Amino acid sequence: MTDNILPGVKSAYLIRSGMGERYLVGGQLATLIARSEDTGGLLEATIMSGGAGAEFPLHQHARSHESWYVLAGQIELHLAGKAYFLNRGDYANIPPNTVHGYRMRSHYTRVLVWMVGGDAAKLFSSLGEPYEGFVPPEGVPASILAPSKNVAESACDIKFTGDDPPSTGLFNSFETRVPPAGMAPYVLREGEGERLIAAEQLFGFLAHQGNTNGSFITLTTMGPKGDRIPDHFHEKHTETFFCLDGVMTMWANGEELQLLPGDFLHVPPNTIHSYRLDAPFTRFVGMLAPGLFEPFFRTFCDPYEAYIFPQAPKPGRFDRVIKKLAELDLKLVGPPR
């Protein structure tokens, strides 16, 4: 597996924190960690970094479905006529044809932006220019210039509304604690989402299949230091792992890798893989595309009310998984550990 180089073909790869293909876009750094060509057209992932005041004007996409996880700092998200103040760990679901834009509010803001059905790499190369640096440049963030907006509109799936995000300073409260039904835009506070438990691992659904027309699911996995999960592979869906807290060991295609916060692993179908959580509080966020793996979690886990994993493990229902194995996109390699 090559490290820190986007492979250009659908394959398993690792991108360490801060690495990836970088563009300077209106004073912000766009770091691509997954492009369409690296994922077989399934998904793209970009980390937007910038300082207080950096903005992205209001716009919408006809086809691209965006999914946000705030990694650091604070950011105003303007979404379908409402404004939300997002902090680290907050999530946003932004379906196609939803007007949105943002303004960063802290000096070290970073947001992980997944895109499905779009052309993020083309978008950032049209809006910005290749950039050698690993952090946004010094000085006041510049705005995105009109000529580059025009280039992006003609080449990519984006339409600007012509407005900057409003600056009233008034924010909406978060309306929901779980993903609502359907393709609606919504935001979730850190820790909210539908929670499920298996053994000592807590899974938090941030987007269900129903929120994405089946194109992806997004969930967090959180737990203490534990055992290695069984080696397995999937035939139909791609799995991604973005480490948020703690330390984890991963195995993919026979290689052992240690993932630290900010590290990203792309695991396409037919890649034998496994993970183990290695620190007392370890958490990762994953986008799985397409979203067909959701029934696995409903089979393996039970509903869970609390926001932190239990001190003593709950049952993991591998018995139910084994009974339904033929219906789940899961191929176990060897016996469950």
| Residues of this chain that bind Fe ion (CB under 5 A) | 239
Residue found under tokens 């791609």:
238
Nearest to Fe ion of 200, 239 (CB atom)? 239
Identify whether the C-beta of residue 311 lies closer than 8 Å to the C-beta of residue 280.
no
Nearest to Fe ion of 105, 324 (CB atom)? 324
* Least distance CB 329 / Fe ion (angstroms): 9
Nearest to Fe ion of 279, 332 (CB atom)? 332
How many other CB atoms sit within 10 Å of the CB of residue 130? 10
Nearest to Fe ion of 239, 263 (CB atom)? 239
> Can you name the residues that pair with 303 across neighbouring β-strands?
196
Calpha distance 250→191 (Å, rounded): 24
155 φψ region: left (φ > 0), alpha (ψ -120 to 50), beta (else): alpha
- Give the residue nearest to Fe ion (CB): 239
Non-local (6+) Cβ contacts of 232 within 8 A are 272, 273, 274, 330, 331, 332, 333
Own/partner pairs, 11-15, CB within 8 angstroms, 24+ separation = 11/38, 11/266, 11/268, 12/252, 12/253, 12/265, 12/266, 12/267, 12/268, 12/271, 12/273, 13/38, 13/265, 13/266, 14/257, 14/263, 14/264, 14/265, 14/266, 15/263, 15/264, 15/266
How many other CB atoms sit within 10 Å of the CB of residue 315? 11
* Least distance CB 257 / Fe ion (angstroms): 15
* Least distance CB 192 / Fe ion (angstroms): 24
* Least distance CB 91 / Fe ion (angstroms): 21
Nearest to Fe ion of 123, 243 (CB atom)? 243
* Least distance CB 215 / Fe ion (angstroms): 18
* Least distance CB 333 / Fe ion (angstroms): 11
How many other CB atoms sit within 10 Å of the CB of residue 295? 14
Nearest to Fe ion of 17, 271 (CB atom)? 271
Length of the chain: 337
Distance of CA 260 to the CA centre of its chain: 16
Nearest to Fe ion of 38, 239 (CB atom)? 239
* Least distance CB 239 / Fe ion (angstroms): 5
Nearest to Fe ion of 59, 234 (CB atom)? 234
Burial classification of residue 7, based on how many CB atoms lie within 10 Å of its CB (0-12 exposed, 13-18 middle, 19 or more buried): middle
* Least distance CB 198 / Fe ion (angstroms): 13
